């Protein structure tokens, strides 16, 4: 089997998960190089990696460059991605820099694999909450169409990075043993705009047009681009919840054609990358505590709206670091090899 030289750019939570996915999936790696702002040694699952300081010339001889996530560093991300492409690498970027660029395909392999052929050196990974939603809705969309979506996401702290996870741990520990008024003074990691321990807050990203957050608009615009259908009416509320890993979504859809819940369940049961857990009377439905480290998108609580024709509810859960980021990027590289 042919081997490919791979670069992983970034060693935060997503970068580490990329290294894990490459190894677990036996990706045909020839030379593996890991880049970050500064050189160091890291260890992932007992495997040691030498991290090199990133530079333009670092991409010489690289076939695939997996960028772990570059939001907030737009200038550097674009520069290094362009330099990697100049050196004949294919860039698969997990940040937001290229997602809405009309010349860059936004790909979820289970949904729009054919778009990969349009790439000109850069392929974008969608936002984590978008990925799991479109994986679950794609079989329904292809069968019955979708007129409208109303989405509430319940997003884990790891979606905001490693420092946000540490903030949650510190807050939970502090609240357990301290009077509430003293908690905030003790917290060293303050990566999120509000307290998350024993709390939820409806803000992910900054507030923009129509008082929606940037995260909410990502769900709208990225879904339109992936499905090639900007006529779907999508409204979203994104909420940060005190969970380490695993995003959950409550999704309401109105289909264009009638689709009974049992038929929707059949479609999802047969779809790649989806596991249906839908026995609510027995307490069986997807929960983030059960899906950490798993590759699939889990769906349950499928039921019809008793008041609106063609209305359906779904509950969707996935590991935001794996399918929502690292795994999707590796799957794109696997598609390119095929």
Residue positions annotated with a catalytic role = 128, 247
| Residue 197 backbone dihedrals phi, psi, to 5 degrees | -60, 125
* Cα–Cα separations (whole angstroms), residue 93 to 127, 320, 330: 11, 16, 11
Torsion of CA 95, 97, 100, 102, to 10 degrees: -120
Write the DSSP assignment of 241-256 as a string of letters.
-S-SS-EEEEEEEEES
Q: Are 240 and 200 in contact, with CB atoms under 8 Å apart?
A: yes
Q: Rounded to an integer, what distance in angstroms lies between the CA atom of residue 148 and that of residue 65?
A: 36
| Residue 44 backbone dihedrals phi, psi, to 5 degrees | -130, 115
* Cα–Cα separations (whole angstroms), residue 142 to 112, 137, 146, 218, 247: 11, 9, 9, 22, 24
């Amino acid at each position: 089997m042919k081997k490919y030289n791979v670069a992983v750019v970034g060693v935060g939570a997503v970068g580490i998960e990329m290294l894990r996915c490459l190894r677990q999936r036996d990706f045909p790696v020839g030379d593996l190089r890991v880049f970050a702002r500064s050189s160091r040694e890291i260890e992932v699952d007992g495997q040691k990696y030498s991290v090199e300081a990133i530079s333009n010339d670092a991409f010489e001889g690289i076939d695939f460059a997996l960028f772990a996530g570059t939001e907030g560093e737009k200038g550097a991300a674009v520069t290094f991605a362009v330099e990697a492409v100049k050196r004949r690498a294919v860039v698969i970027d997990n940040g937001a820099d290229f997602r809405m660029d009309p010349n860059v395909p936004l790909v979820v392999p289970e949904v729009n694999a054919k778009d990969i052929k349009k790439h000109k050196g850069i392929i974008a990974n969608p936002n984590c909450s978008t990925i799991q939603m479109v994986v679950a809705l794609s079989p329904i969309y292809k069968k019955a169409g979708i007129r409208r979506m109303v989405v509430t996401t319940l997003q884990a702290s790891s979606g905001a990075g490693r420092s946000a996870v540490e903030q949650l741990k510190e807050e939970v520990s502090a609240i357990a043993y301290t009077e509430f008024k003293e908690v905030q003074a003790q917290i060293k990691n303050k990566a999120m705009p509000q307290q998350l321990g024993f709390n939820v807050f409806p803000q992910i990203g900054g507030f923009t047009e129509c008082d929606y957050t940037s995260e909410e608009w990502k769900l709208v615009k990225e879904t339109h681009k992936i499905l090639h259908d900007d006529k779907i009416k999508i409204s979203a509320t994104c909420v940060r919840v005190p969970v380490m890993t695993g995003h959950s979504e409550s999704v309401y859809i109105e289909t264009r054609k009638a689709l009974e819940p049992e038929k929707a369940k059949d479609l999802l049961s047969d779809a790649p990358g989806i596991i249906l857990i839908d026995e609510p009377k027995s307490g069986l439905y997807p929960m983030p505590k059960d899906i950490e480290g798993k590759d699939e998108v889990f769906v349950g609580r499928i039921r019809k709206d008793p008041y609106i024709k063609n209305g359906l509810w779904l509950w969707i859960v996935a590991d935001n670091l794996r399918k929502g980021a690292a795994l999707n990027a590796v799957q794109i590289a696997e598609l390119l090899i095929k």
